[in-house]
Amino acid sequence: MGQAVAAFKDPSFQDRVASAGKAKQKALEQLKAKPPVDEAVMAQRRQARELREKALSEERAAKAQASAAAKAQKATIKAVELSEAKAAEELKAARLKPASAADMKAARDARYAARKQRK
């Protein structure tokens, strides 16, 4: 019994070679026992995978298109806001700009004529 314990702790070279041979033989038997690949099943799996990939690519394309549309809409809104701001700025500048002498004289004359007409 003491020898069995010693052999378990320190197997000899022959024991290790025999053990490796048994493991190889077992692996070979498992490989041979494996059922052969059914072409119909493989074709069905391949077709299912291709359908999934196609659906995924269509979904990605739809997301990309929606993203591009959102970006275009944001750019349009920004352009409108900028043009409105520019128009408001030009209007403000036009109001602040002093009128020409002829415009001022015409406005004064109009006020004078209106005052005369009221009397």
Q: What pTM, to 2 d.p., does this model score?
A: 0.43
* CA 45-51-53 angle, 5° bins: 100
Average pLDDT, the chain: 87
pLDDT grade for 2, boundaries at 50, 70 and 90:
very low
**In the prediction, which pLDDT does 74 show?**
96
**In the prediction, which pLDDT does 66 show?**
96
Distance CA 16, CA 23 (A): 11
**In the prediction, which pLDDT does 6 show?**
54
Angstrom distances, CA of residue 57 to CA of 29, 60, 61, 90? 42, 5, 6, 49
